Amino acid sequence: MALLEAALAAARPDDQRVSADRPNAARLAETCGGLPLALQITAALLKADPTLTVSELADELADELVLLQKLRYDDGSGSGSPSVAAAFELSYRQLDETAARVFRLLPVNPGPDLSTAAAAVLADLPTGELRSVLSRLAQAHLIEAAAGAARRWRMHDLLRLYALQRSDACALPDGREQAVDRLLQYYEETAHAATTHLSVPSEIPLSATFTDRDNALTWLDAERPNLIAAVVTAANTGREQISIKLSADLPVYLELRRRFDDLLVICTVCLDATRRLGKRANEAGALNDLGNTLLVVRRFEEAIVVYQDAIAIFQEIDEPRFRALALNHLGIPLREVGRLEEAVTSHQDAAAIFRETGDRHSEGDALGNLGVALGEVHRFEEAVTAHQDATAIFRETGDRHREGKAFDGLGLALEDMHQFEDAIAAHKRAIAILQETDDRHGEGSAMNNLGISFRHLGRFKEATNAHQNAATIFHETGDRYGVMVALNNIRLDLEEQHT
């Protein structure tokens, strides 16, 4: 901004366009990436047209499709005019053949940055050699280390556009389409390996790609924007199969991190891809995943329709286990809209199918949901039994995360039976397990339920503390509905304490 202001003042000392509009001047500087040459060219554009405002120029430069063209200034002297493109070209010409090819391939990555490992796959080079190439590119200021990230790299938008132009010109000799195939395959295989570490039964083998659950989550957190973009890119470039596979890898992680905006994107993209391919089984699976997402964002009526469509397809193609999965999920929105007996039946049917097919883990899921539905119709003893059976199954199958969720459900059923001390013990057990498995939102739900049990016993200070903790967690995880519920519970704690 100081450079812009000084450049304008040098031409016209009374030019106050930068100092009078600092927010848009900052936006203009950001668009130029802080590059001195780009700022000088931008200042030249302002000097050439005294009527052009900083805001207007910032808006023009924001259109990424014409950035390189707009950041040229023609002073009438011909080829000697400065341009960002010329500066990029000069740096590019200094690269050796390998570095130039890597530079051209890097913008193929669909996300905002990429790791050294992903870049090595993209370029089809050994990691050690690729590190040396990336170092040379960084020294030439053609790439930069991503902010706050170790071994991750990004390009400024202007450089990315320039590199894409070069990439288009050399796509065939660079083997660009094969590079895209390698990168998307890497993202899918590694995402699948990471997902095996997230709340799975012990009989499913854990991938050796990651040492443990925390290691897998760290990779997924770093790669999330790339993975979502990869799903879309694959679907848009005729790679529907890889898009479908990658979409199937991500729901468990995205639900854990409560990235439901991302989930809606990949579920919708995946559903369209399955329909283009005419894959009925995949279409039903995509419908089921979409229903799960609609359920969590509380679009219950839509979720019911989507689940019913999935169930019909699974029935048509004779897939009883997957039909049971959809039936189990269908019971939840049915319960939410007050169709309680239908919800009980849906969960009971699902549990029966899982029992017949020997799927113990999924049976535990269905029993947990059945317990909630039974509680809603005041069949409390049956609800407690269902939750107890669910906790036993999850302990047996080694799924600590779902065991924690089942204990929370058990606590709710015990509350309905007025067994509040036992309910408190169950909720505390749930909180400990959900903390252990890094389910922050689940921890908030269990904390909220714990507060209710405390309130029933007249332990109002403990109740309010639990509900305050729940509200904080819901706020952190972006659940506004959860915050509302927790705050309302605090109100009830205070009202009952003073009556």
* pLDDT for 199 beyond 80: no
The Cα 258–Cα 479 span in angstroms is: 9
pLDDT of residue 80: 43
Q: Is residue 119 in a domain?
A: yes
Mean pLDDT for all residues in the chain: 89
* pLDDT for 59 beyond 90: no
57-71, 171-185, 319-333, 449-463, range with the lowest pLDDT: 57-71
Confidence of residue 68 (pLDDT cuts 50, 70, 90): low
pLDDT of residue 81: 43
pLDDT tens digits for range 74-119:
545 444 444 466 567 767 888 899 999 999 999 999 999 999 999 9
Output the six-digit token pair for 83: 């341009």
Strand order from edge to edge, sheet including 114-115: 114-115, 152-154, 144-145
* pLDDT for 218 beyond 90: yes
What percent of the chain is modeled with pLDDT above 90? 70
147-151, 350-354, 491-495, range with the lowest pLDDT: 147-151
Residue that finishes a domain, picked among 174, 204, 220: 174
Q: Is 73 helix (H, G, I), strand (E, B) or coil?
A: coil
Identify whether residues 69 and 103 lie together within a single domain: no
Q: Is residue 395 in a domain?
A: yes
Identify whether residues 36 and 105 lie together within a single domain: no
CATH code (residue 107) = 1.10.10.10
Number of H helices, E strands in the chain: 27, 3
Place of tokens 């799903």: 231
Q: Is 112 helix (H, G, I), strand (E, B) or coil?
A: coil
Identify whether residues 18 and 57 lie together within a single domain: yes
Place of tokens 């596979």: 245
Do the beta carbons of residue 481 and residue 296 sit within 8 Å?
Answer: no
What percent of the chain is modeled with pLDDT above 70? 92
Q: Is residue 281 in a domain?
A: no
- Mean pLDDT to the nearest integer, 355-367: 94
Strand partners, 145: 153
- Name the percent of the chain in helix, strand, coil, to the closest 5: 75, 0, 25
Count the domains in the chain: 4
**Better pLDDT: 330 or 46:** 330
Residue that finishes a domain, picked among 174, 207, 233: 174
Identify whether residues 98 and 169 lie together within a single domain: yes
- Mean pLDDT to the nearest integer, 260-287: 92
* pLDDT for 393 beyond 70: yes
Identify whether residues 50 and 114 lie together within a single domain: no
CATH code (residue 468) = 1.25.40.10
pLDDT of residue 91: 76
Residues near 217 by beta carbon (within 8 Å), at least 6 away in sequence: 194, 197, 198, 253, 438
Q: Is residue 98 in a domain?
A: yes
Identify whether residues 450 and 416 lie together within a single domain: no
Identify whether residues 18 and 41 lie together within a single domain: yes
Going through 138-243 in order, the beta strands assigned E by DSSP cover: 144-145, 152-154
> What's this model's pTM, rounded to 2 decimal places?
0.66
* pLDDT for 45 beyond 80: no
Q: Is residue 271 in a domain?
A: no
Do the beta carbons of residue 5 and residue 29 sit within 8 Å?
Answer: no
9-13, 31-35, 211-215, 216-220, range with the lowest pLDDT: 31-35
25-29, 173-177, 179-183, 372-376, range with the lowest pLDDT: 25-29
Identify whether residues 82 and 99 lie together within a single domain: no
Residue that finishes a domain, picked among 86, 115, 140: 86
Q: Is residue 397 in a domain?
A: yes
Q: Is residue 336 in a domain?
A: no
pLDDT of residue 161: 86
Identify whether residues 124 and 168 lie together within a single domain: yes
* pLDDT for 480 beyond 70: yes
* pLDDT for 64 beyond 50: no
Identify whether residues 64 and 6 lie together within a single domain: yes
Closest CA to 252 of 439, 14, 409, 34: 439
The Cα 328–Cα 351 span in angstroms is: 8
Identify whether residues 475 and 456 lie together within a single domain: yes
pLDDT of residue 83: 47
Identify whether residues 80 and 25 lie together within a single domain: yes
The Cα 252–Cα 368 span in angstroms is: 18
Q: Is residue 380 in a domain?
A: yes
Confidence of residue 157 (pLDDT cuts 50, 70, 90): confident
Do the beta carbons of residue 117 and residue 178 sit within 8 Å?
Answer: no
Output the six-digit token pair for 365: 């899921």
Domain limits for position 82? 2-86
* pLDDT for 37 beyond 70: no
